[in-house]
Structure 1
């Protein structure tokens, strides 16, 4: 027979481990993950499963797929923050809204662009998300991807018809890309028709923001000195006439694959 002392020790060993009172370890212990994605006070198990990418758990928790915390954070937003594409697809297939009813609430598309989760961006757009969805203090999704140097997200947005010159106020995506000295982003934006003559709130053109003598400045100066080719101008004009909502139907047209790819710009 075990002694009373050993029985007490066994119970203590199997009991709950107390949370650390201070420091970063407490954040890691509470709820099992960091509390950096908004308030956790009213988060549901659905939010937690979405944040952690637990697909099987998520399948059993789909009663309130658009549940939002007091901060406006939805499970879909959590998926975009963590890059859980499979979980996000499950939410979308079960009625998750790509955008919230209130424009001041967090945007799943903006969060995906901010973090560079290009697969999440692609999936959201495939389910009808507006590539030009505006959040006043953030600007357009394209602007968000530019200030965070995520070229892959920018390409997807532009292929799906995002307006290349719509940023935040007078600040265009090209202004943002130049400030970040992101030559790759600048090349993509110019390829989709970015206007190099737009001026920001300080009345400056993108070339005036470029680092003197840097690759970005050299690229913009070369672009200013050589007009767009007729091929580029035709593609941009045709895409504008087709309209964003019909771009995804280009592959259904009875056209040679070479011409379809030319219009899709892939």
Structure 2
């Protein structure tokens, strides 16, 4: 692969060297591509290159080889070529958490919202690799999720159950808020309360969870805490509720004189 990458990255002269032509002829034969009988070495080499570019671009992106990527692009490749499963070089670089390669590909025209054949966007790969910096960069470049709310709610509820605060913060950076609910309308805060996780409860409240939201059984997180006898958690929720009520009152008082 290094030999192929090196040969394709180099500048191509109008006078095709016999050694280069033999190399590409051997590559074409090895992958059963075959020549197309044009009779022009320049064009025959180009056909082989274009057939291999998707693999070469994706391999270089996966390895973080920006020099090879630049070389392939100079020879006629583009940043949106896909290999297996419709995954672009940007998907692969994001999946590796490689911010430098991601920045390079975006500058070269890669679509920040491109999707693979499973409909997964580049941003989801960045979330999976748990890189907050990368997620923030993609979002600033225009990346967004178009996943159904209940699917994202289910993801957030699972993370709340696992007490994975770091990953929840990464999802938040990707545009997922803490009031997303699963199919039963249960939010991460509902899950944190019912699994008796005070730290996760505080974390959810800090990140905007609404303790007044009701699930499909008409239960709020406060009602769940009372039903389960988790008085320490009920107290946390009531304190948060009182703080928010006080803040709302103060805000109303500040606004009133301005209106008069």
What's the TM-score once normalised by structure 2's chain length? 0.53
Residues 1:159 and 1:48: Cα distance change in structure 2 (over 3 Å)? closer
Tell me, in whole angstroms, the C-alpha distance in 2 between the residues paired with 1:176 and 1:49: 42
Q: Counterparts of 2:195 and 2:82 in 1: how far apart (Å)? A: 33
Kept after mapping to 2: 8 A contact 1:81/1:115: yes
| More helix by percentage | 2
- Matched-pair contact (CA < 8 Å) for 1:98–1:124: yes
TM-score w.r.t. the length of structure 1 is 0.52
Q: Does 169-178 or 111-120 show the bigger shift?
A: 169-178
- Counterparts in 2 of 1:222 and 1:144: CA distance versus 1, 3 Å: closer
| Paired position in structure 2 for 1:53 | 64
Paired position in structure 1 for 2:129: 115
Where does residue 211 of structure 2 map in the other structure? 196
**What is the CA-CA distance between 1:68 and the residue it aligns to?**
3.0
Contact kept, 8 Å, 1:58 with 1:87, in 2: the verdict is no
Q: Kindly indicate whether the alpha-carbon contact (under 8 Å) linking 1:47 and 1:78 is maintained by their aligned counterparts in 2.
A: yes
Contact 1:113 1:121 (C-alpha < 8 Å) held by counterparts: yes
Cα separation, 2, equivalents of 1:115 and 1:181? 28
CA RMSD of aligned residues (A): 4.3
- The structure whose Rg is larger is 2
Counterpart Cα distance in 2 of 1:180 and 1:66 = 45
Instruction: Give the Cα separation in 2 of the matches to 1:180 and 1:151.
Output: 15
Decide whether aligned partners of structure 1 residues 160 and 106 sit closer, same or farther in structure 2, where only a CA change above 3 A counts: closer
Contact (CA 8 Å) 2:86, 2:117: kept in 1 or not?
A: no
Kindly indicate whether the alpha-carbon contact (under 8 Å) linking 1:133 and 1:140 is maintained by their aligned counterparts in 2. no
Q: Is the 8 A contact 1:134 1:140 kept in 2?
A: no
Would you say the 8 A contact 1:103–1:135 is kept in 2? no
Q: Could you list the per-position Cα deviations for residues 174-195 of structure 1 after superposition, in whole angstroms to 9, with x for gaps in the alignment?
A: 4566788876654333113212
- Asked whether the 8 Å contact 1:149–1:180 carries over to 2, the reply is no
SS at match of 2:152: coil
Conserved in 2, the CA contact under 8 Å of 1:142 and 1:154? no
2:55 is matched with which residue? 44
- Equivalenced residues, count: 189
Please show how residues 79-98 of structure 1 align to structure 2 within 5 Å. 79-98=93-112
Unaligned runs of 5+ in 1: 1-41, 238-266
Extract unaligned runs of 5+ from structure 2: 1-52, 252-260
1:224 aligns with 2:237: yes
**1:163 and 2:174 correspond:** no
Aligned equivalents of 2:168, 2:82: Cα separation in 1: 28
Aligned to 2:40: none
